[in-house]
Amino acid sequence: MAKKKTVSQFSYEEAFQELDSIVAQLEGGELPLEKALKLFERGQKLATRCNELLEKAELKLRKLVPDDAGEFVETEFDPEEV
C-alpha cells in the first residue's frame, strides 16, 4: 500500500487543487459541523503550504545587481532582460 503524502510534500498544484475542493465543500453548507471543522483545519494547512511555495518562487525571481557604489542590491527579475 502506497504511503499517503503529507501536506508538506505537496507541490503547489496539488495543494491548491485540494484546497479548492475543500472550499467548494465548505461553501456547499451541507456538511456536519465536525466534518466542516476538520476540512477547515486541513484547508488552513494547505493554504500555508501554498503560501510557502509562492514565497520560495518569489525569492527565485529576484536577482542581485551592483548599484552606483559597487554594492549589490536585490531587484526584481525582469524576464524581458534575458
At 11 the pLDDT is 94
Residue 22 lies in a domain: yes
72-76 and 62-66 beta bridge pairing: antiparallel
CATH number at residue 44: 1.10.287
More confident residue, 5 or 7: 7
Instruction: Tell me phi and psi for residue 72, to 5 degrees.
Output: -95, 135
The pTM score is 0.70
Split into its structural domains, the chain has a count of 1
Q: How far apart are CA 26 and CA 13, in angstroms?
A: 20
Residue 3 lies in a domain: no
pLDDT by residue (tens digit) across 29-78?
899 999 999 999 999 999 999 999 998 887 766 667 778 888 877 776 66
At 5 the pLDDT is 85
Residue 75 lies in a domain: yes
pLDDT beyond 90 at 26: yes
Its domain, for residue 75, covers 10-81
46 to 3, 4, 10, 75: CA distances (angstroms) = 19, 15, 9, 29
